[in-house]
């Protein structure tokens, strides 16, 4: 850059800086919203309710001071509870002196609301279960093959006594798992509740997803239950074939011993059709897709 252009640039920057300085030295009016923060709460107590969450302040002062206040991060309007208990009311103007971030050279022209009502109660601690608010959709050809597990599945909460008494559980944040085709183990946040403190802010959600397959179990023996003394129930045939549908890994590990098929002697004794429908118990997260034969013939014999 040539000396001529450098001189022009520096002159321009100086003019802008001077204009900003002069402009900000004038008096302005600015309205800001500041969240409330209660202080001097006696140990073992907590805020239960408050009539408003924010204070609206209309300030008059030099522009650069107002700009500094407006741009301040984490600014709160502090209200001292004076360690009092129960239902309270605070004149907001009386609390201005508690807020050192309000420059003494700034005039508070208007403040709204004029009063803040709040209530303080004793703190109570309680253990409550965590419930999942997760929506899960599984990829076609796959299936959920486990319970949805939260770890931890409960936590300790604390807060105002009457509020804690009304809480039965804590929910996770709403989470959507779409087109899942693999096992999931991930952290999920807990949904916050106002005035309630949590022991921890997250839990872990876990569930298993596997590819769907069919598996046939041949010649599964049928058990006969509740047979009285001196009686025998003979079945024809005494075994059946069944087909289960489930996760590839889970079904692959199953054997004939993984399923249970039975009939009840009392059903045969009261039967008028001459056939019985077997009761089939299968593992969780599997589906029975076929039974052969579906009915069994029988003979009741006297011993």
pLDDT by residue (tens digit) across 215-267? 999 999 999 999 998 889 999 999 999 999 999 999 999 999 999 999 999 99
Every domain of the chain with CATH number 2.170.120.40 lies at 124-210
CA triple 39-45-49, angle to 5 deg = 75
- Distance between alpha carbon 204 and the CA centroid of its chain, in Å? 10
What is the predicted pLDDT for the residue at 62? 78
State whether CATH 3.50.50.60 applies to domain 124-210: no
Task: Note if the bond before 159 is cis, omega within 30 degrees.
Answer: no
Q: Report, at the CATH architecture level, how domain 213-302 is classified.
A: Beta Complex (2.170)
Kindly state the average pLDDT of the residues 284-288: 95
Residues 247 and 180: their CA atoms lie apart, in Å, by: 14
Q: What is the pTM of this model?
A: 0.75
Which tokens belong to 227? Answer: 């047979």
Every domain of the chain with CATH number 2.170.120.30 lies at 26-122, 213-302
* H-state helical runs in 40-178: 63-70, 161-165
Asked whether residue 275 carries a pLDDT value surpassing 90, the answer given is: yes
Instruction: Tell which CATH classification among 3.20.20.370, 3.40.50.300, 1.20.120.640, 2.170.120.30 matches the domain 26-122.
Output: 2.170.120.30
- Is there a contact between 2 and 43 (Cβ–Cβ < 8 Å)? no
Asked whether residue 23 carries a pLDDT value surpassing 70, the answer given is: no
pLDDT by residue (tens digit) across 182-200? 999 999 999 999 999 999 9
């Amino acid at each position: 850059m040539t000396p001529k252009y450098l001189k022009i640039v520096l002159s321009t920057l100086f003019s802008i800086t001077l204009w900003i300085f002069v402009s900000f030295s004038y008096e302005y009016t600015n309205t800001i919203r500041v969240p409330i923060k209660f202080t001097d709460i006696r140990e073992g107590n907590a805020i239960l309710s408050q009539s408003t969450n924010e204070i609206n302040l209309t300030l008059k002062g030099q522009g650069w001071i107002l700009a500094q206040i407006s741009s301040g991060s984490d600014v709160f309007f502090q209200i001292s509870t004076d360690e009092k208990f129960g239902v309270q009311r605070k004149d907001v103007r009386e609390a201005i002196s508690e807020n050192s971030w309000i420059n003494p050279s700034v005039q508070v022209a208007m403040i709204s609301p004029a009063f803040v009502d709040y209530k303080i109660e004793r703190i109570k601690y309680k253990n409550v279960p965590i419930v999942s608010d997760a929506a899960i959709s599984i990829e076609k050809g796959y299936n959920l093959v486990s319970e949805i597990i939260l770890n931890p599945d409960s936590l300790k909460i604390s807060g105002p006594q009457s509020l804690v008494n009304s809480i039965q559980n804590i929910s996770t944040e709403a989470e959507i798992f779409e087109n899942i085709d693999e096992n999931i183990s991930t952290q999920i946040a807990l949904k916050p509740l106002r005035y309630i403190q949590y022991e921890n802010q997250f839990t872990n959600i876990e569930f298993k997803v596997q590819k769907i397959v069919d598996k046939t179990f041949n010649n599964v023996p049928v058990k006969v239950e509740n047979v009285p003394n001196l009686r025998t129930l003979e079945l024809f045939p005494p075994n059946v074939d069944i087909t289960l549908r489930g996760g590839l890994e889970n079904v692959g590990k199953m054997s004939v011993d993984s399923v249970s098929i039975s009939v009840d002697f009392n059903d045969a004794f009261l039967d008028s059709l001459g056939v019985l429908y077997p009761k089939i118990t299968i593992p969780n997260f599997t589906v029975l897709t076929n039974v052969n034969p579906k009915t069994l013939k029988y003979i009741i014999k006297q011993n």
